[in-house]
Amino acid sequence: MAIDLEALSTCTRCDLSITRQRVVIGSGPAGPALMVIGEAPGRSEDEGGEPFIGRSGQLLFRLLDEEAGLSRDQCFVTNVVKCRPPNNRTPTRHELATCRPWLAEQLADVRPRVVLALGNTAARSLFGYEQGIGHTHGLVARLDSGPGLATYHPAAALRSGSVVLELMRADLRILRSLVQKA
Ligand code: URA
């Protein structure tokens, strides 16, 4: 069953619908090499209606190109939570659980070969990890859709600098081999 985009774009299942400007659904080709899944839209995305169009996105797609040979238009890009939390706070468990069925429908529709979760919130929500991203980045998980990998959120690399950046680069080289094999 195809996802009801009209219902998603007018969703009021949680209170983020009160403060958001737009539901950021995500976009990309069907059957892509990669589905990139972040945490939730930030200010630029809430205004622009597309995921990862701010500074984090610029870094992310440069790294994906350099380390995994993937361009943005080869990826379907979305978030575990589709609406911006006020002041970019971490989504609550309730918001994550409420939004989860939308992501499940997207995964079933999009059928990516490989999934990349960015940061703690996405990695925990998608792969059920209890440990933080410092322990789970670079691990390969199995989803119904196929293999999945977690790495740091690019915002963490922007904040913390070269150590996190190098860890992300190493994770994305693992991603490259997953995509080649999938
Ligand atoms: N951070 C995210 O997790 N997602 C976006 O779309 C933008 C920034």
pLDDT for 91-123, tens place per residue?
999 999 999 999 999 999 999 999 999 999 999
123 CB near ligand 1 (under 6 Å): no
Residue 50 structure tokens: 């597309």
In whole numbers, what is the pLDDT of the chain averaged over residues? 97
171 CB near ligand 1 (under 6 Å): no
Q: Which CATH number goes with the domain that contains 85?
A: 3.40.470.10
* Structural domains counted in the chain: 1
Question: 3-class DSSP state for residue 132?
Answer: coil
Which among 145, 103, 147 is positioned nearest to 121, based on CA atoms? 103
For 118, the domain range is: 5-181
pLDDT given for residue 1 in this prediction: 65
pLDDT for 121-171, tens place per residue?
999 999 999 999 999 999 999 998 899 999 999 999 999 989 999 999 999
Beta bridge partners of 151: 118
pLDDT for 25-56, tens place per residue?
999 999 999 999 999 999 999 999 999 999 99
9-to-49, 65, 96, 97 alpha-carbon distances in Å: 10, 30, 17, 18
- Atom number in ligand 1 closest to CA 24: 6
26 CB near ligand 1 (under 6 Å): no
**73 Cα distance to chain centroid:** 15
Between 119-127 and 93-110, two packed helices, what is the crossing angle to 10 degrees?
70
pLDDT above 90 as % of the chain: 97
Residue 122 structure tokens: 């996405």
